[in-house]
Structure 1
Amino acid sequence: MAFTTAASSERTPFAANRFLWLLTGLFLAYWTYGWFNNHNMENWIIENLLVMILLPAMVFTHRGHRLSDLSYLLIFMFVMLHCYGAFYAYTTNAFGEWLKERYDLWRNPYDRIVHFSFGLLIAYPAREILLNRFKVSGKAAWLLPIEIAFSLGTIFEMIEWGVAELTTPATGETYVATQGDVWDAHKDIALAALGAAIAMVVVSLAKRLSARKAIGRPTLAPSAALNKSSIGKVRLESVQ
């Protein structure tokens, strides 16, 4: 079973895709562990509401549009980062607390890391959907993932505001995780857009490097066969 990317022409069905089964198993194991061992159940439930809505939606739409293995891996990485943040609550996350003490920071930076990672890890799946599902132009597919990350980051900040208004002040502060920064929402949105922009630059450089390597390969493979339907012409099989 080959590891697929956005450029791959085929997708392995979930039932036969051992890689997706592995990712699903790891997520369910950690999510279940977090359910029973998290440090703040009320915050954990609120943080996981979107996860419990979006992941089943991905499962139900899998038959209609399968993403590549690489896209599912990137989504998995972001969801795991988010679940780790929810396990402690973002304001008291253990890794963020270590960074705070190690580098003498004035706030726990874990929420910043996850907002940046959202753009960085979601941009590639967004580009794949735009190209393969909606057939947008190649140029637009480089810019739109950045705009999507910016827009979704803004929507999420509005959701945080709504939660803060509907819950107690302590719960709202824990969930929103401003930690005294009046520009927290602006910085989070900007980091998501920055992460997506970096992702698109990395993908662009990777594609150019791959194209240069392809140019250096021999044009005619030893196993190339003659196409009997057209005498004298050679049919070459290329792998994308």
Structure 2
Amino acid sequence: MEIAPTLIVLPTLWVYRQRWTITPLLVILIGWHGLVLMLGGAYTYARVPFGFALQDWLRLTRNPYDRFGHLMQGFVPAIAFREMLIRGGGLRRGWMLRGLVLACALTVSAAYELIEFGAAMALGQGADEFLGTQGDPWDTQWDMLCCLTGAVLALMLLSRLHDRLLDRLP
């Protein structure tokens, strides 16, 4: 399940590569996000070794890799939505674009949380292992906050670079 987005996005990018050129920044971010998802899927998010190292280093009570995954769930789609809305939607750069990008990123996060909810209902007792909540009753809310934080960070840190790269596209 965790690699499903990668298995959807990569073939789609391959099929449309001639018709829809994307910025090198977005290509790199999609690749990076794919690696984050695959690593989380290989170990389950609660058991990624890097997360345990980070947990020890920061003296946290839980493996934070899940939070990092949700941060990426906002960071990368924010740039993807920004690119789609500017190029395909004809939106000008400004507050409306930023607001729509944040809304789109949160929509992805909410949809993912609903998928997790459905899986939890179907799995019953096995849901804790699948969800990786690590005993946190607020895990869903933290996941969406991490997504929003990632989207805000992406807009703050990458918008200018993204604009320059968008201006170079045909």
TM-score, scaled relative to structure 2: 0.86
Q: How far 1:106 moved relative to its partner?
A: 1.2
Larger Rg: 1
Q: 1:189 aligns with which of 115, 126, 144?
A: 144
| CA-CA distance at 1:83 after TM superposition | 0.8
Deviations 1:17-73, CA, capped at 9 Å, x for gaps:
xxxxxxxxxxxxxxxxxxxxxxxxxxxxx2223332333233233333221111111
Q: 1:164 offset after TM fit, Å?
A: 1.3
Which residue of the other structure, out of 28, 33, 39, is the alignment partner of 1:73? 28
Q: Which residue of 2 aligns with 1:231?
A: none
Higher helix share: 2
1:155 partner SS: helix
Partner SS state of residue 3, structure 2:
helix
Q: 1:116 aligns with which of 71, 95, 116?
A: 71
- State the AA in 1 paired with 2:61: W
Note the C-alpha offset of 1:137.
Answer: 2.4
Structure 1: runs of 5 or more not aligned: 1-45, 211-238
**How many aligned positions are there?**
165
Q: Which residue in 2 is equivalent to 1:167?
A: 123
Shift of 1:189: 0.6
- State the alpha-carbon separation in 2 of the partners of residues 167 and 127 from structure 1: 36
Q: Which deviations, in whole Å up to 9, do the C-alpha atoms of 1:189-220 show, x marking residues without a partner?
A: 11111111111112345589x8xxxxxxxxxx
1:54 lines up with 2:9 in the alignment = yes
Aligned equivalent of 2:91: 136
User: CA–CA distance in 1 between the matches of 2:90 and 2:84?
Assistant: 8
Residue 155 of structure 1 aligns with an amino acid whose one-letter code is: A
Asked whether the 8 Å contact 1:146–1:193 carries over to 2, the reply is yes
Of residues 156, 161, 164, the one that matches 1:201 is 156
Q: CA RMSD in A?
A: 2.2
Mapped contact 1:123–1:149 kept (Cα < 8 A): yes
What residue ranges of structure 2 are gaps of 5+ in the alignment? Answer: none
| 2:116 is equivalent to residue 176 of structure 1 | no
* Residue identity (%): 27
